[in-house]
Structure 1
Amino acid sequence: MIQYRILFLSIMLSICNIPYGISQSQDLQFNTKFYDAFDRWVVFSVDENTNKASVGFIYLDEESGPTFYFEGYMDLDKPTLPLTKLLEEASIRKRLETNTSDVAVLSDAQIKNLGLAPLPEWLALYQTKKGTDGYEISRGRWFNAVGASHKAIPILQAIYQKNPHADGLEFELAFAYNATNSFYKAVVILNEAIKHDPSNFWYYRELGYAYKYLDNINEAEKMYKKGISLTKNKYQQAEMAVNMLQGYFHKMDKVKYEEWKSLLIQYAEPGVIFLEYIKLFDDNWGKHKAEGSSNPVN
């Protein structure tokens, strides 16, 4: 669908995370989260040696997630000059992740001075479905993926009110509630979701998580066991097992702890990080028991 050539150059690997120097004369305020700058021209970083800034546009690619399109370099010593292009015949795009540094959003005047259009022409290719439930659910999914579930909730709630069983909606809304500690809301959403689709293991995974943090360890165990039985995905099975292992560690229930330790070993493939929790919990069992569950090891 997209005709642009996409290059992931090594110089772009650091563009979202390197320190920056700020030119006060250009009023660049690096205080905006990238997920608050969709469909905006931004500055990601400033090279203190050259006083040039990396300028580009943030947009949502439904399949790949939040993306930075690198347009060129802005010379902070000569702000009215056009951007310096790195490559004329290729586009450079960088996927944005949770640890992406804050950006500076360019003003309308700065955009005009740099010879940029308010919106790039190619953006329309990525927004053909904008406004549809599917597109909005994708937005919510990517907000969840980059640790901005608080942004996902109002988007997903609006769709839930009119179409609660839209594909992927209930899981993403429940995930967002769990991520923001609204566990009761997650339970309500997931119980209704299970009535509609009782074989979806993702619902049980999230429901087990919600019950665990509501301190209902028995219901959490039921949901996790059901979720484990509905999937062959070893990683997901191991993740559910380690959550129960942690839950019984906090409860200081040695019998159940050993049961879930055996299950974790059964499901976790070699090298999976979840196995490291076994040693952590085993090594801290005596100390944790002495201090009580008010000071758990996470």
Structure 2
Amino acid sequence: MKYFFILFILFTSSLNAQNLLKFDKRNVQCEDKWIAYQIDKDSTYTFGFIYVDSQAGLTLNYEGKFKIDNSGRFNRIESETKKEIGFMKVRLQPNRTAIAEIPESKFKELNIEKVPSWLKSYQTDESSVDRLYRWGYMYNGWNEYEKALTFLEKADKLDTKFKGLQTELAFSYNALGKFDKAELSLKKAIAENPKDCYTYKELAYTYTKLVNFEKVTETYDIMTKICSDQNFIQETAYNLAYQYFKTRDKVKFKKWKTETEKWSKSENQYTKNLNEMETKLN
């Protein structure tokens, strides 16, 4: 009976913690949030504040550890070597490790502020086009396209002609399947810079997804005349070949397979894939 009682207490304590901390977030979803990592072997939680440094990127301001008692109270653990709490900045790489947002109701127990005073030095020019663009660019790089748009669309309202903005917007739109919006953004970008090969590559991709292969071909022809980066040209030809592979159009597949191969001096992943496709078609 005694052992059962002990197990019951442990089980109840575990449920308490689960209810208070929901480990359902990734680090790239927690900018300007207090977070906790999964429980350690000694029943402690590591916690800190995640923010974005414009130079270093995603960063954790590590602030220590805490335990949750049976009543659900968060008890901060002081450093073993000295009474004051230590701080440490850790550069983060986006990953899928599940972390939890710390409820605001627990901030007082941990002796933390909702917005740390030191954060102000990192929150400069938050409403400027440049900062909004850079944050959108970062979130696109982390595959957080919806989040990227929250910055990029604000930037668009301030300066629609800001360098690189329309192409970055199109990247988000393409990733989210909003191809009509991507097309509009890319046309704006080309109007400002008619020789930007990356923009044409994105436009060709958009037309591919819109199943407008005639427009893809037109864009490809422009790219062959203006682009110095042959990888973009090859990628565009490959995407068309792949579309014709899916529709089992052997004649057009062969044509675009040949076009793809023109832009590489040796075998690469594109040509390997196309050879496999050709074998399947035959």
- What TM-score, normalized to structure 1? 0.74
Kindly name which structure, 1 or 2, has the bigger radius of gyration based on alpha carbons. Answer: 2
- Cα distance in 2, alignment partners of residues 101 and 159 from structure 1: 31
Taking the TM superposition and a 5 Å limit, the aligned residue runs for 1:120-199 are 120-199=116-195
- Cα distance in 1, alignment partners of residues 97 and 87 from structure 2: 28
| Conservation of the 8 A alpha-carbon contact between 1:201 and 1:231 | yes
Aligned counterpart for 2:202 among listed residues 202, 206, 215: 206
Aligned counterpart for 1:73 among listed residues 65, 69, 81: 65
Q: Residue 131 of structure 1: CA displacement?
A: 1.5
Q: 1:126–1:198: structure 2 CA closer, same or farther, 3 Å change rule?
A: same
Q: 1:108–1:278: structure 2 CA closer, same or farther, 3 Å change rule?
A: same
- Cα distance in 1, alignment partners of residues 75 and 186 from structure 2: 54
Question: Is 1:91 aligned to 2:89, yes or no?
Answer: yes
- Sequence identity (%): 26
- Paired residues, number: 262
- Cα distance in 2, alignment partners of residues 252 and 110 from structure 1: 60
Q: Give the match for residue 44 of structure 2.
A: 52
| Conservation of the 8 A alpha-carbon contact between 2:45 and 2:67 | yes
| Conservation of the 8 A alpha-carbon contact between 2:58 and 2:91 | no
Taking the TM superposition and a 5 Å limit, the aligned residue runs for 1:107-126 are 107-126=103-122
Q: Give the match for residue 16 of structure 2.
A: 25
| Conservation of the 8 A alpha-carbon contact between 1:56 and 1:71 | yes
2:220 alignment partner AA: Y
Q: Residue 216 of structure 1: CA displacement?
A: 0.6
Task: Spell out, residue by residue over 1:89-109, the C-alpha distance to the aligned partner (whole angstroms, 9 max, x if none).
Answer: 75322122xx42343111224
- Cα distance in 2, alignment partners of residues 68 and 85 from structure 1: 21
Structure with greater proportional helix content: 2
Q: Give the match for residue 42 of structure 1.
A: 35
Q: CA RMSD in A?
A: 3.1
Q: 1:83–1:172: structure 2 CA closer, same or farther, 3 Å change rule?
A: farther
Q: Give the match for residue 5 of structure 2.
A: none
Q: 1:279–1:123: structure 2 CA closer, same or farther, 3 Å change rule?
A: farther
| Deviates further, 76-85 or 235-244 | 76-85
| Deviates further, 161-170 or 150-159 | 150-159
| Conservation of the 8 A alpha-carbon contact between 1:51 and 1:75 | yes
- Cα distance in 1, alignment partners of residues 114 and 99 from structure 2: 18
Task: Spell out, residue by residue over 1:125-184, the C-alpha distance to the aligned partner (whole angstroms, 9 max, x if none).
Answer: 332221111111122222222222122334322332342111221011111111111111
1:67 alignment partner AA: T
Task: Spell out, residue by residue over 1:215-254, the C-alpha distance to the aligned partner (whole angstroms, 9 max, x if none).
Answer: 1112112223434554444544443333222122224333
Task: Spell out, residue by residue over 1:71-119, the C-alpha distance to the aligned partner (whole angstroms, 9 max, x if none).
Answer: 33333458313365999575322122xx423431112242332233433
| Conservation of the 8 A alpha-carbon contact between 1:82 and 1:115 | no
Q: Residue 206 of structure 1: CA displacement?
A: 1.2
| Conservation of the 8 A alpha-carbon contact between 1:241 and 1:263 | yes
Q: 1:44–1:258: structure 2 CA closer, same or farther, 3 Å change rule?
A: farther
- Cα distance in 2, alignment partners of residues 45 and 235 from structure 1: 43
Q: Give the match for residue 289 of structure 1.
A: none
Q: Any gaps of 5 or more consecutive residues in structure 2?
A: 1-12
Q: 1:79–1:269: structure 2 CA closer, same or farther, 3 Å change rule?
A: farther
Q: 1:38–1:218: structure 2 CA closer, same or farther, 3 Å change rule?
A: same
1:81 match: secondary structure: strand
| Conservation of the 8 A alpha-carbon contact between 1:64 and 1:95 | no
